[in-house]
């Protein structure tokens, strides 16, 4: 028979949070495996769920938020009905129904915390707050006072947090996605000045590379668009010339990054056309799923390394002498898979991890030449590569 002391210890063990995040020594405790996966997707992997209703494309951190958004905004569903005095008023959320019922019953909102000692008296609102700053923000909403203005669209907001969130979602487009026709409306509105700079972007015929090309073109740079598909290259080049302040026409080069001669031709054509090279963006890549037990694992590993890793090394090697003259930059596009392992993705993960280490080595090796290599490890994006 257990003693009282042992019983308490047993209860503490069973009620303790057993699921801990092991991503980059995070150690956050979660009460269930689903909460743990949700934490990893939102915080570490930067997974976003996108509303696919018409051309909405609004992003959310949780899947249930997408369903709720669809039902309220698009479907106009109002499943909650007030049954007091045959009112019959419909609401999209249960909280709104409960607040409405208090109008009939005359109840005050429940005070869930003893610290909520500040009450709003605007039109019998009676909402309680812990801090005076929160009460002041709430009062501004009643009086429609929005002191913080967006510089791009002049829309007003009560707090700087709401303004920042609006800019991130609408103007800055932190998660630039998906196809080029959507990207041109969501590309960053911050003004950069790259006038006179020559930027070579590999794999810029679609996806992330196309978004990078559009941003540099909009910032006044002369852009080199490269990839396998000539039609896609022409489409991106046309978009770049439209957003360019000086209407610069990008240089279009069809390149197979598995072939060393094509890589040499890409660099030579760029320097011959513009006379210089300021920024090299190594973005070209393929995604192959293969397990170590697959018969063709070695062949698939060699094919992926040729594009994702070897092309980065070759382009860097060929571009150093040109970047030294301009004190240029190298931007290598890696991935979160270079840090975190995934099932059946060992080949892709190894290549991305190698890019991260290669960038670190180049940063120390090329510092005396005035060249600044950087690496960007992205999360999961829905691009043509991902599809």
Residue 127 sits in a domain of what CATH number? 3.30.160.60
Same domain, 282 and 342: yes
HSE, side-chain direction, 13 A CA sphere, residue 33: 0
Same domain, 290 and 322: yes
User: What pLDDT does residue 15 have?
Assistant: 42
Same domain, 136 and 185: no
DSSP result, 172-198: I-SS--S-HHHHHHHS--S----TT-E
Domain presence at residue 221:
yes
Same domain, 128 and 244: no
CA distances in angstroms from 49 to 19, 57, 75, 93, 247, listed in the order given: 24, 9, 18, 21, 35
Look up 49 and say whether it is catalytic.
no
User: What pLDDT does residue 4 have?
Assistant: 43
Domain presence at residue 286:
yes
Same domain, 155 and 186: no
DSSP result, 44-90: IS---EE--STT---EESSHHHHHHHIIIIIS----EE--GGG---E
Residue among 248, 297, 342, 348 flagged as catalytic: 348
> Which helix (H) or strand (E) covers residue 351, if one does?
helix 346-365
> Which helix (H) or strand (E) covers residue 38, if one does?
helix 33-39
Same domain, 133 and 208: no
Same domain, 185 and 160: no
Residue in 207, 173, 204 with CA at minimum distance from that of residue 188: 173
Cβ count near 303 (within 10 Å):
16
What would the two tokens of residue 111 be? 């005070």
Domain presence at residue 19:
no
Q: Provide the residue-wise pLDDT of the chain in tens; the chain has 387 residues.
A: 444 444 334 334 344 457 788 877 777 888 787 778 777 777 777 677 778 776 677 777 777 777 777 777 776 777 778 888 778 787 777 777 777 777 777 776 665 545 556 777 666 676 777 777 777 777 777 777 777 788 777 788 877 777 777 766 666 544 333 344 444 444 444 567 898 899 999 999 888 899 999 999 999 999 999 999 899 999 999 999 998 988 899 999 999 999 999 999 999 999 999 999 999 999 999 888 889 999 999 999 999 999 999 999 999 999 999 999 999 999 999 998 898 888 888 999 999 999 999 999 999 999 999 999 999 988 776 666 555
User: What pLDDT does residue 186 have?
Assistant: 46
Please state the pTM of the whole predicted model.
0.53
What would the two tokens of residue 33 be? 């495996």
The C-alpha atoms of residue 96 and residue 370 are separated, in whole angstroms, by 60
Residue in 331, 313, 328, 333 with CA at minimum distance from that of residue 371: 328
Same domain, 219 and 355: yes
Residue in 278, 279, 224 with CA at minimum distance from that of residue 251: 224
Q: Count up the domains in the chain and report the number.
A: 2
Domain presence at residue 308:
yes
The last residue of a domain, from among 105, 137, 172: 172
Contact 53, 74 (CB under 8 A): yes
Its domain, for residue 162, covers: 113-172
């Amino acid at each position: 028979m257990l003693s009282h002391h042992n019983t308490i210890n047993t209860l503490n063990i069973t009620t303790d949070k057993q699921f801990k995040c092991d991503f980059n020594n995070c150690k956050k405790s979660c009460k269930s495996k689903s909460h743990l996966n949700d934490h990893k997707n939102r915080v570490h992997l930067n997974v976003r769920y996108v509303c696919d209703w018409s051309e909405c494309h609004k992003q959310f951190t949780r899947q249930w938020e997408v369903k709720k958004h669809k039902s309220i905004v698009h479907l106009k569903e109002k499943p909650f009905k007030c049954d007091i005095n045959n009112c019959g008023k419909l609401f999209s959320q249960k909280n709104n129904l409960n607040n409405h019922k208090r109008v009939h019953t005359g109840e005050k909102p429940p005070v869930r915390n003893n610290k909520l000692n500040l009450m709003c008296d605007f039109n019998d609102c009676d909402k309680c707050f812990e801090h005076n700053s929160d009460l002041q923000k709430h009062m501004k909403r009643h009086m429609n006072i929005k002191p913080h203005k967006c510089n791009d669209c002049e829309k007003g907001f009560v707090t700087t947090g709401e303004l920042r969130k609006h800019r991130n979602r609408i103007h800055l487009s932190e998660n630039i996605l998906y196809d080029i026709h959507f990207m041109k409306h969501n590309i960053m509105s911050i003004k950069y000045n790259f006038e006179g700079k020559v930027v070579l972007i590999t794999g810029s015929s679609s996806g992330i590379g196309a978004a990078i090309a559009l941003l540099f073109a909009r910032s006044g740079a002369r852009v080199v668009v490269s990839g396998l598909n000539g039609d896609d290259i022409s489409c991106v080049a046309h978009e770049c010339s439209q957003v360019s302040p000086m209407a610069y026409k990008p240089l279009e080069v069809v390149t197979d990054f598995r072939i060393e001669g094509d890589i040499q031709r890409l660099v030579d054509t760029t320097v011959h056309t513009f006379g210089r090279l300021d920024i090299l963006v190594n973005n070209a890549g393929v995604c192959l799923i293969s397990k170590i037990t697959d018969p063709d694992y070695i062949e698939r590993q060699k094919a992926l390394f040729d594009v994702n890793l070897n092309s980065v090394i070759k382009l860097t090697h060929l571009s150093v002498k040109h970047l030294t003259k301009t004190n240029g930059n190298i931007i290598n596009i890696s991935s979160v898979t270079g840090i975190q392992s995934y099932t059946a993705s060992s080949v892709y993960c190894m290549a991305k991890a190698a890019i991260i280490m290669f960038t670190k080595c180049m940063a120390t090796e090329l510092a005396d030449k005035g060249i600044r290599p950087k690496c960007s490890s992205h999360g999961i994006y829905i691009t043509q590569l991902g599809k």
